[in-house]
Structure 1
Amino acid sequence: MAKAEAPGTEPAPPKSKKLLIIAIVVVALAAIGAGVAFMLKSSNPEEGDGEAPAAKAEKPKPKKKDAATPPTFMPLEAVVVNLADPGVTRYAQVGITLQVEDAKTAEEVKKFMPAIRSGILMAISRRTADELLSAEGKEKLAAEILELVQKTADMEPYKGYSPVEAVLFSSIIVQ
């Protein structure tokens, strides 16, 4: 004999709504995962950047800089240079510190220090006192020295990354 339901109670709703919600969530997660995989694949520096395979093999992969690791500062010996002021003999003493990624990079840069120091002396000696004393002149000199160091040490920027990060002036004295 069939059970009689108590008056006022309704039969339980079917469980297909829960199954439908679970299926939608699974499909959504799969779509998100596929999107993330596509984004990671398309941002891979080794594939699809239009370079020839030989050119790819020559350039090192850019490293991801760990934000928690502080940079290494590499103070250079101060340089004293005659400036290019016409008709007047002026001198500049410039203290420079290189900001590099780590101690290993500092050791690599040290191997090229005679050429780097010579290039720095030449770059400063082409300047006038007014150029060295202006903010714009200092910024241009820092950019030129940075490019010189990166090029000389064979650490030129690749896809916006170089282990030689910045040139900082610790002192500039013009006399």
Structure 2
Amino acid sequence: MATAPAAEGAAPKGGGSKKKLIIIIAAVLVLVLAGGGAALLLLKKKPAEDGEDAADTTEAPVKAKAHAKSDHPPTFVPLDPFTVNLADKDVDRFAQIGITLQVDDPHFADQIKTYMPAIRNNVLVVLSRKTAAELLSVEGKEKLAKDIMRESVRPMGIELDNADEEPAADAPKKKKTKKAAVESPVTQVLFSNFIVQ
């Protein structure tokens, strides 16, 4: 009788292991199919996004480039803090501003460091032309960031268009379309410190 219960106990284990094997195979098959489906969707989306980037390049090349280089983390180039007298005429006011430039290319970050004295000079000139009222508004800070972005690449021979200038005739419009092809290697200007007194 000792052999009979052992034989009965062995039968369910063998059947159970077959069930486990079938379940494992089914789970692996589901995972493989899900992975293949995800890969197929990603491959289909990639050419569509490339087509959108090509269409966006004519309208906003800076944004298209910023999204296209997302394969590596951005590089941040902090500038020494700026302390500058503002252009207020009624009262003496000054600003203390910390600025960090965000770039996608680490090689360009090294180039920025090479041109740092000229970049600091350009940023100081931009800051000294601002009034306290301009710097305290959100729109003023956004305009300041655009001005700093434009002036930070100028020493390297990169001329960005001034979006705030209003075109007076058809000739500046043609000139503006030529400048639209220039992409800024500085993707963002970040303020780490902003005090106006």
TM-score (norm 2): 0.54
RMSD over aligned Cα, in angstroms?
A: 2.7
The answer as to whether partners of 1:80 and 1:91 remain within 8 angstroms in 2 is yes
In 1: Cα distance, 2:66 partner to 2:194 partner: 33
Q: Which residue of 2 aligns with 1:168?
A: 190
Q: Which residue of 2 aligns with 1:151?
A: 154
Q: CA deviation at 1:159?
A: 2.9
The answer as to whether partners of 1:155 and 1:164 remain within 8 angstroms in 2 is no
Query: Aligned match of 1:68 in 52, 71, 89?
Result: 71
Gap regions ≥5 residues in structure 1? 1-35, 44-61
Q: How does 1:46-125 map to 2 (within 5 A)?
A: 65-125=68-128
Gap regions ≥5 residues in structure 2? 1-46, 55-64, 161-179
The answer as to whether partners of 1:83 and 1:89 remain within 8 angstroms in 2 is yes
Amino acid at match of 2:107: K
Q: Which residue of 1 aligns with 2:11?
A: none
In 2: Cα distance, 1:173 partner to 1:64 partner: 32
Which range moves more in the overlay, 157-166 or 122-131? Answer: 157-166
Q: CA deviation at 1:137?
A: 0.6
Q: Secondary structure at the match of 2:187?
A: strand
TM-score (norm 1): 0.60
User: Counting helix residues as a fraction of each chain, which structure ranks higher?
Assistant: 2
Q: CA deviation at 1:154?
A: 2.7
Identity of aligned residues (%): 48
In 2: Cα distance, 1:169 partner to 1:63 partner: 19
